[in-house]
Structure 1
């Protein structure tokens, strides 16, 4: 019998079922990037049960949780994002295709033009071609850092103030912080990828979602002399002991680039994290392989490349 993708509603599921989804994700990760941390079972269940107000998500499983797929769409965007996993011992039986067909149909219903995912292993390239998808221009280098930092502190950048917070952005910085986050749109990305649109409301929505998932955001920004945020970086960490850190974006507003701000704030953020959470010993980050400035920053801080992932795009 052909595999069938079945909709999953995490809010109605017990922990055991959601933990089995993590088992599939972990097994796939171990095949291609065993040195990279992933959120643990509890973090994964919390993620599946929580949803930012500005984002819509749908989930499917196939068989006895032999595979899992997630589609997410941010409000106002025409791009749908796909995560798809099939257990290593359940492959080549149609599970991946069944999940993809369900995901593509839902994305198309939402008016999306593209469904985008990424892959690591060479075998997945054949699957991408077989289902009519194409390789995008984006290739992402994932890298792992061991804390504490083994490099010396980065000197202050004259004319700027470095400010850090945990959790929610201070109200007096919220507007310029939200605006600065839009600088990430200057990073290399395929034409099929919609630009991000950050507003104070969306920032607060994402902060609330992290809190519901029992995660803490460690944020460091650079302020210009007018106390406007002109650069930012963030690491998200679950509150459970021994959790790993996962970087969000790091970006600098165009008029303030080439002054060392990205290195300065990321160094400060990671040192603060290590001081406040000595139990966190690994941090994962990702950058496009053509983003030479950020790759140089991460290399300087001690991040070690762990995998390269290729973007796959299904035009709907």
Structure 2
């Protein structure tokens, strides 16, 4: 049985559907579709040198790798290697081949420090360590039952605060870009991130096929966007929060919780039955908010790091 590693082809439906299928089996807590993969492959900033890979056996996709430079970080020469193999097709060498191809690609583009998210299970961690990666921080995936679970009741915004939908900013999303950039910069992480390219943000975030501006909620204070909860949906019944945050000048007033509650209620009313999100294990305030909503930890990933050369 021969494993072949090659590039994901954006014009090959079987490739895209196979990639999405493997990702869902290996990591069912993140939303991914064939359409979202094609968008990422054709729209990601060229400085990322994005190169998704697939491992194929007898025409079937059994493994995937998302490979790119961390071009939004002020620290140069950093890359990402996220490899997932279909749990039904492990121990065929697909993971090792994907890692090798990914590392060669990133090294050729100047990467010297590589980061990889690894599901917190003994076999996965042993695989990462075997390939020279060392454990760093960790993050939880969380799930909320929207169909049968009880959400906190909706609260009226305090004086001077107004709740709006992301779609209300369709004519000019720049205020949401600025809010996203400020809050993302303060996220706990071992990689600093700076959003400075508005056009890239439009392509990769605002126009992403999974992004739902209609279900995204924004809290305005005296007309200024102060907090938001941005979400994606998979076209079915699954909803995922991809960023919730508050501008520094407005923190401590419960605005992120207000915005997220509004979005969750509207998602449930629209027929979504599952809500997913993720938090760094060191992000105590956001973990507390999600526990208040009723989210439960469903899996954990560990960030692994490898220094090249």
Which one of the candidate residues 244, 252, 265 is aligned to 1:258? 252
Q: Indicate the residue corresponding to 2:221 in structure 1.
A: 224
2:273 is aligned to: 281
Deviation at 1:286, TM superposition (A): 0.3
TM-score normalised per structure 1:
0.83
Match 1:201 to one of 177, 182, 199: 199
Contact persistence 1:144–1:303 (CA under 8 A): yes
Aligned counterpart for 1:306 among listed residues 267, 288, 298: 298
Secondary structure of residue in 2 paired with 1:92: coil
**Pair 1:269 & 2:266 matched:** no
- Does the aligned pair in 2 maintain the 1:157–1:261 contact within 8 Å? no
The worse-fitting range, judged by mean Cα deviation, of 243-252 and 73-82 is 73-82
> Which residue is 1:118 aligned to?
117
Instruction: Map 1:177-188; keep pairs closer than 5 Å.
Output: 177-182=176-181, 183-188=183-188
In structure 2, distance between residues paired with 1:129 and 1:84: 14
Query: Aligned equivalents of 1:261 and 1:113: distance in 2?
Result: 40
What secondary structure, in the 3-state scheme, does the structure 2 residue paired with 1:187 have?
coil
| Cα distance, 1:74 vs structure 2 | 5.3
Rounded to whole Å, the distance in 1 between the matches of 2:70 and 2:129 is 26
Q: Which one of 63, 66, 71 corresponds to residue 62 of structure 2?
A: 66
* 8 Å Cα contact 1:184/1:250 also seen in 2: no
Aligned equivalents of 2:184 and 2:146: distance in 1? 25
CA distance change for structure 1 residues 287 and 231 in 2, over 3 Å: closer, same or farther?
A: same
1:157 aligns with 2:154: no
Rounded to whole Å, the distance in 1 between the matches of 2:80 and 2:207 is 18
Return the offset for 1:129: 0.9
Superposition pairs of residues 12-161 of structure 1, within 5 angstroms: 13=12, 15-29=13-27, 36-39=28-31, 44-51=33-40, 52-54=43-45, 56-64=49-57, 65-73=61-69, 75-77=71-73, 78=76, 79-120=78-119, 121-137=121-137, 139-147=138-146, 149-161=150-162
Alpha-carbon deviation of 1:284? 0.6
Q: CA–CA distance in 2 between the matches of 1:256 and 1:2?
A: 57
Per the TM alignment, residue 71 of structure 1 is displaced from its structure 2 partner at its CA by 1.0
1:245 & 1:91 partners in 2: Cα distance? 29
| 2:22–2:63 Cα contact (<8 Å) kept | yes
Equivalent residue pairs, number: 293
- The normalised TM-score by structure 2 is 0.84
Cα offset, 1:2, TM superposition = 7.9
In the TM superposition, what whole-angstrom CA distance separates every residue of 1:184-213 from its partner, at most 9, and x where no partner exists?
Answer: 2212111xx131315432332235642xx3
SS in 2 for 1:152: coil
Checking the alignment, whether the CA contact within 8 Å between 1:161 and 1:223 is kept in structure 2 is yes
Q: Distance in 1 between matches of 2:293 and 2:159?
A: 20
8 Å CA contact 1:181–1:198 kept in 2: the answer is no
Instruction: Check whether the contact 2:210–2:232 (CA below 8 A) recurs between aligned residues.
Output: no
Q: Distance in 2 between matches of 1:19 and 1:142?
A: 23
C-alpha RMSD of matched pairs (Å): 2.5
CA contact (8 A) 1:38 1:244 kept: no
Q: Is the 8 A contact 1:37 1:244 kept in 2?
A: no
- Who is 1:32 aligned against? none
Offset of residue 3 of structure 1: 4.7
- Return the offset for 1:98: 1.1
**Is 2:152–2:261's contact at 8 Å kept on the other side of the alignment?**
no
